[in-house]
Structure 1
Amino acid sequence: MDIKYLIDYFAHASVKFTDVFTKRMEPGEVDVGRTTAPEKCGLVVPLAGSAVFSFDGTPYVMEPGMIVHAGPQMPIEIKVTGHKGWEYAVVHYSLPTEEAALFPLAEQHFPINTGFNTQIISHVQQLIESYSFPGNMAIFKSKTLFMNLLENILLAAKMKVLDSANELMEQTLQYIHEHYAEQISVSNISREFGIERRRFAYLFEQHTGMNPSTYITEYRIRRAKDLLEYDVIPVAEVAECVGYVDCFYFSRVFKKCTGLSPSAYRKIKIEEAKYG
């Protein structure tokens, strides 16, 4: 689930809190033959333990940090895993009938990876407590807590996505640093990491402040500068060492980046080394 679509959904759909309940199951216990509530959507929020929770035959391995959204009247199966009891909350909300066709996410099941987050569990517990009291003030408070819970879930999920993207971009940087001498390109790298090219370029620029092609070029030129400080390595060989098969093209790129030809840069560096 793309977090952007999820945020758009909850930002524009007329979601309305309806109820919340909790359930505890013992290790090894299995619950089958039930369906989700009719005319309601739900967020299954693990509170303790772990279980395999299936919706319409699709299993989700659930524990605190992994929330699952489910649509109305979906067949469910639950199997507790591990040696601890499984405890979870189901937060129900409804959507006006006329909006169902506009927001297909309401009818779907999908995971929301928030990572373990004590604020989410705290908001669920507050919501459970508020819902247990009678009166209009309790109803109003429950509505407010529900929206706060949604905000916390979406923020945590967004941060999880950003953390994952940052980790992936660090891996692509490492790949460039190890393979810059080869004939790599933005397309090669995006295929290597299984990311659509434009998506990769966007994430890379967000992470580094420059597009991938510029980064590869600048990294190669930095490595070329290091090699040019040694008078014994011909310029053509330096070009090959940093991934350029065409020495003349390398010279043009080098001059564009530094304002000097490779030979002129080498001469200056050798003079600097000679006279301190």
Structure 2
Amino acid sequence: MDIQEIIEFYTTAPLTFLDVITEKISSETVVTNYKTMTNAAGLIFPINGVADVKIEGKNYRLEKGQIIHAGPNLSIQRTITSDTKFEYAVIHFQLSDGENSKFPLYNRHFALQVGEQLKLMNLLQQLIQNYVMGSHLSFLQSKALFFNILEEIILVIKMRDYQYKKENITLITEYMQENYTKNMTVMDIANHFKMERRKLSYLFEKKMGVSPNVYLTVLRIQKSKVLLRTSHLSVKDIAEKVGYTDYFYFSRVFKKITGLSPSQFRKHIN
């Protein structure tokens, strides 16, 4: 699920708070073949315990740190997997009439990884307490808290996504440094990390300031300069040792970056 798509949905869709419910279920209880509300979507917040749910055939683990978005009229099977009682809350909300085609995520199901966020759980508890009071004022406060919760979810998933990307790019640069001697391409690197090549290139350049192809090329040329300076290997052998199978291509790239051919560079430093 694309994080940007989720953020755009929760920030721009005309959503209306309906209610919040809570439930505690014993470990022996198994509920099968029930459906979500026909006219509302829900955010499922695990509070205590663990449960496995299957929504429209897809398995999810309901536990602290994960929220499930479930659209209207979806089939759910739920199994309690912990020894303690499973406790959860569901915030129900609606999308304005006629907006379904603009916001298809409303009708789908997906997980939101938020970690065990104390502020988010405090907001949820405030919402539950306000809603059960049943007054007009408390309902208005509940609606405000609903949007505060959405805002907090967005902030959390943005931060977690940023941290994930940051760590991922660090792993990618380490992988390049360890494997530059192989005849690998950016596509090979993307496949290794199970990422789409254009997405990898975009994230890499955003963090590193250069494309992964330029980073890999400069890395190889820097390594070849060390070998030209410290070894008696032929230029052809050095080209192969830094990942180039075509000696002539290596020489052209080397000259383009350094202004000298490999042989000229070796003579110059000696």
Alignment of 1:13-92 (within 5 A): 13-92=13-92
CA distance in 2, matches of 1:175, 1:192: 10
Q: Name the counterpart of 2:172.
A: 172
Aligned letter for 1:173?
T
Segment of structure 1 superposing worse, 53-62 or 66-75: 53-62
Alignment of 1:200-211 (within 5 A): 200-211=200-211
What secondary structure, in the 3-state scheme, does the structure 2 residue paired with 1:99 have? Answer: coil
Alignment of 1:120-131 (within 5 A): 120-131=120-131
Q: Name the counterpart of 1:273.
A: none
- The 8 Å contact of residues 100 and 106 in structure 1, kept in 2 or not, is answered as yes
TM-score (norm 2): 0.91
Q: Which deviations, in whole Å up to 9, do the C-alpha atoms of 1:135-164 show, x marking residues without a partner?
A: 333222211111110111122222233333
Instruction: Name the CA shift for 1:57/1:180 in 2 (closer, same or farther; >3 Å).
Output: closer
CA distance in 2, matches of 1:58, 1:264: 62
CA distance in 2, matches of 1:248, 1:76: 62
CA distance in 2, matches of 1:231, 1:63: 57
Q: Name the counterpart of 1:265.
A: 265
Aligned letter for 2:63?
E
TM-score (norm 1): 0.89
CA distance in 1, matches of 2:3, 2:234: 52
Instruction: Name the CA shift for 1:52/1:258 in 2 (closer, same or farther; >3 Å).
Output: same
Q: CA deviation at 1:92?
A: 0.7
Q: Which deviations, in whole Å up to 9, do the C-alpha atoms of 1:34-83 show, x marking residues without a partner?
A: 32223111000111221002223432111111111112222322211122
Q: Name the counterpart of 2:135.
A: 135
What secondary structure, in the 3-state scheme, does the structure 1 residue paired with 2:133 have? Answer: coil
- The 8 Å contact of residues 115 and 157 in structure 1, kept in 2 or not, is answered as no
Query: Over aligned residues, Cα RMSD in angstroms?
Result: 2.0
CA distance in 2, matches of 1:96, 1:116: 31
Aligned letter for 1:17?
F
CA distance in 1, matches of 2:21, 2:7: 24
Aligned letter for 2:238?
V
What secondary structure, in the 3-state scheme, does the structure 1 residue paired with 2:198 have? Answer: helix
Q: CA deviation at 1:111?
A: 1.4
1:7 aligns with 2:19: no
Aligned letter for 1:192?
H
What secondary structure, in the 3-state scheme, does the structure 2 residue paired with 1:147 have? Answer: helix
Runs of 4+ deviating beyond 6 Å: none
CA distance in 2, matches of 1:70, 1:38: 11
Q: CA deviation at 1:267?
A: 4.0
Q: Which deviations, in whole Å up to 9, do the C-alpha atoms of 1:64-109 show, x marking residues without a partner?
A: 1111111222232221112232111100111222222332222111
Aligned letter for 2:26?
E
Q: CA deviation at 1:114?
A: 1.8
Q: Name the counterpart of 1:98.
A: 98
